[in-house]
Amino acid sequence: MTHTLAALAELVSGTLTGDGNQPIAGAAAIESAGTADITFLLDDGQLRRLEHCQAAALVIGAKVADHPAAARFARIVVDDPLSAFLKIVPKFRPLRSRPARGIAPTAVISPTANIDPDCWIGPHVTIGADVVIGRGCDIHPGVVIGDGCRIGCDVTLYPNVVLYADVFIDDRSILHAGAVIGADGFGYRFRNNRFEKIPQLGWVHIHADVEIGACTMVDRGAIGATIIGEGTKLDNMVQIAHNCEIGKHNVFASQVGLAGSCSTGDYVRIAGQVGVKDHVRMNSGCSIGAKGGVHKDIPAGETWIGYPATPEAEQKRLVFSLKRVPEMRDQMKAMEVKLATLTAELAALKGEPNLKVA
């Protein structure tokens, strides 16, 4: 399937520089684009990547469209290159159509479940008692939905998602394969020389427009709810413990782990492999760098890094200081030798016996 460069420019309402009749056969990233492909340049920080690029054309922003590095390409100039490119890609790789509405014959569904007819319930899905599923949902093969769950409209549950009992998911949320929502929190107390389980009697509430990655776990509250706020995105293999309350539009990268009863404000960003101690509050707009270890509350808008995590400037000063430790050690040794020499010389001038120069 090919499209002319002019047709693609018209699709994204862009300004074309180059031959509008040039055929384009694909869309690819800068490094992998071939001579019949179109690619995109996000900003001027990527200009150096064009040196070895073989693409036939670029989708590019106006600020860098006339840069010498881009001048050898045909160009579609737009305000937002990424958004434009995302409109172009489906012309070469059409999105898969949604499954036809209906219920697979191998699905096992409680007679008390209430499922909107405009849904797809795939093979080997299990749906428990008193479940409610709204309009336009896609429930893929192998999903298990426990008793009392409430699922809004246009929700997608990919294969082998497990919802324990009493999980609430609002409209347009997406849960990827293998996510487990509502398992018991890690709650025990030590009595009589053994760990005794604390009953986990709460629930999970996932608000609208949330996306949860593959094999991510969100535990139910011990008492009350574990909450994932509207628009929040959790990457693969994230752990959210019991009674955490995550704000709106947070973004957590892979392997983040939050211990029990943590909370965040809105627009919090957490990079990969960050670990957070229980009952910590991460206030709105803060960010935490990769592999950080968070042991205390983080103020709004601040960026913390390191282990233990501290404000970015403080942590950088610490790192730079540690790098100088070997040099400082050598300087200290030299000063000790010099001091011993000066002490011996001073003693000799005073006529004190039996003092040697080091």
Question: Which residues are known catalytic residues?
Answer: 242
Q: In degrees, to the nearest 5, what angle opens at C-alpha 347 toward C-alphas 346 and 352?
A: 155
- Residues in contact with 8: Cβ distance below 8 Å, sequence separation at least 6, in sequence order: 14, 24, 38, 57, 76, 88, 91
The SS3 call for residue 139 is strand
SS (HEC) of 102-121: EECCCCEECCCCEECCCCEE
Contact predicate 63/41, CB 8 Å: no
Contact predicate 248/262, CB 8 Å: no
- Here the tokens at position 138 are 């896609």
Residue from 76, 33, 26 nearest 54 by CA: 33
CA 139 – CA 151 distance, rounded (Å): 11
Beta partners for residue 133, in sequence order: 115, 151
Contact predicate 218/235, CB 8 Å: no
Beta partners for residue 132, in sequence order: 114, 150
Cα of first residue to Cα of last residue in the chain, in angstroms, is 84
The SS3 call for residue 4 is strand
- Here the tokens at position 228 are 């994932």
Residue from 267, 265, 315, 263 nearest 289 by CA: 315
Contact predicate 139/133, CB 8 Å: yes
Measure the CA dihedral 251/255/258/259, to 10°. 170
- The residue with tokens 């492999």 is 273
